[in-house]
């Protein structure tokens, strides 16, 4: 039976319809979240909202996985149980969905990391190490890397649609629509596992997750764009590699959708960078979008006067390793250097702060 086409959310049209119904709360909690216990903790004031925002960075996504694994090791809790909202751009979008995918698969971040590395070898056509030959041979019949990536995600998660993922944590990944990002200034499009009628960003949830992953990782020059229901999607990493600011906008819209009179405190906003530095990409961002560091400075200003907000950015840009988006020969070195830098005093202090909040 064919799946229904994605339901695009026009926030302004839906907002008007709901206003016409004289409904003070735009979102019903029973419908919005099946796991209401965690949200109740926030709404009752027992703790603040917790957010995880993940930058894109191609194969440097292994850095993200190592950081997330370290948080799990220190807290003894899964990432999905530690945050209320998780979001990402490009490969960060893939890792944003990882906790939900792992939960459905009864798997672990370690297995997901291994699959990500194996997939990277195939995608970027590097010599394949002996230990992953059996994996890549399984997918050798797929003519293009795009076919391979979609098959890879489909094998891990099946035909699961985005809005059929576990309802908590809330998750979104960012894409651009229609024209490539350098040809227009269109607003980002959010693939969500929740509805947010007050959001200023359009989005969809009734889409197979393997299609979503293809859409948000369709990096220009590397992969062809993805067309779903007559709309074409591109990787948004060139212009919005750091999704933190959009995440803050989404949270504020969520509070409005709940009909709350004031914004609730955010007791942890964790932004994870991949240390991605590219002269070409940085030049393009200087013309068309915001550099991740610029977004970081904006977040520092925006969260300064917000109640009880602990904003932390971990961005191991000082690894001393220059990598291109698909330069997978550097993966072992990236992992080695990331493990070392997480043991430095600065990063240990940040990790302790993060984990203390999660365990409170």
Cα distances (Å, whole numbers) of residue 324 to 57, 330, 333: 9, 9, 14
**d(Cα 249, Cα 198) in Å, to the nearest integer?**
10
55, 235, 256, 267: which is the annotated catalytic residue?
235
In the structure encoding, which two tokens stand for residue 233, read together?
A: 């999607």
Q: State how far the Cα of 12 lies from the Cα of 212, in Å rounded to an integer.
A: 24
Is 235 part of the annotated catalytic residue set? yes
Rounded to whole angstroms, the Cα distance separating 226 from 218 reads 7
Phi, psi of 164 (to 5 degrees): -105, 5
3-class DSSP state of 175 = strand
Question: Which position among 90, 91, 100, 120 bears the catalytic label?
Answer: 90
Residues sharing a CB contact under 8 Å with residue 239, sequence separation 6 or more, in sequence order: 176, 181, 285, 288, 289, 290
**Residue 22 preceded by cis peptide, ω within 30:** no
Strands 266-272 and 311-314: parallel
CA–CA dist 319, 245 (Å, integer): 25
Distance CA 337, CA 249 (A): 34
Both structure tokens of 336 = 């080695």
For residue 326, which of 55, 53, 61, 54 has the smallest C-alpha distance?
Answer: 61
Residue count of the chain = 360
Q: Is 90 a catalytic residue?
A: yes
**Lookup: tokens for 56:** 């894109």
Active site residues: 90, 235
């Amino acid at each position: 039976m064919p799946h229904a086409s994605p339901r695009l959310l026009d926030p302004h049209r839906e907002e008007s319809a709901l206003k016409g119904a004289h409904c003070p709360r735009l979102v019903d909690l029973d419908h919005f979240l099946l796991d209401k216990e965690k949200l109740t903790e926030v709404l009752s004031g027992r703790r603040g909202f917790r957010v995880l925002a993940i930058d894109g960075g191609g194969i440097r996504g292994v850095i993200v996985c190592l950081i997330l694994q370290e948080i799990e090791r220190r807290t003894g809790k899964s990432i999905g149980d530690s945050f209320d909202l998780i979001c990402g751009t490009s490969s960060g979008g893939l890792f944003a969905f990882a906790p939900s995918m792992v939960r459905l698969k009864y798997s672990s971040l370690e297995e997901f990391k291994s699959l990500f590395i194996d997939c990277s070898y195939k995608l970027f056509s590097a010599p394949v190490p002996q230990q992953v030959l059996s994996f890549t041979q399984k997918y050798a019949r797929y003519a293009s890397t795009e076919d391979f990536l979609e098959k890879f995600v489909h094998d891990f998660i099946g035909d699961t649609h985005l809005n059929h993922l576990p309802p908590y944590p809330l998750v979104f990944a960012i894409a651009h629509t229609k024209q490539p990002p350098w040809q227009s200034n269109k607003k980002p499009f959010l693939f969500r596992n929740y509805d947010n009628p007050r959001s200023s960003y359009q989005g969809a949830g009734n889409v197979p997750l393997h299609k979503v992953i293809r859409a948000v990782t369709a990096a220009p020059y590397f992969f062809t764009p993805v067309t779903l229901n007559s709309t074409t999607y591109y990787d948004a990493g060139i212009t919005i590699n750091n999704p933190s600011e959009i995440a803050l906008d989404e949270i504020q819209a969520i509070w409005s959708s709940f009909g709350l009179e004031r914004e609730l405190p955010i007791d942890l906003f964790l932004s994870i960078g991949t240390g991605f530095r590219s002269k070409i990409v940085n030049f393009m961002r200087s013309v068309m979008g915001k550099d991740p560091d610029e977004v970081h400075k904006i977040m520092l200003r925006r969260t300064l006067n917000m109640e009880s907000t602990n904003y932390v950015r971990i961005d191991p840009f000082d690894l001393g390793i220059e990598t291109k988006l698909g330069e997978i020969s550097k993966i072992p070195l990236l992992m080695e250097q990331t493990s070392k830098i997480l043991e430095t005093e600065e990063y240990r202090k940040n990790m302790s702060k993060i984990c203390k909040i999660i365990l409170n």
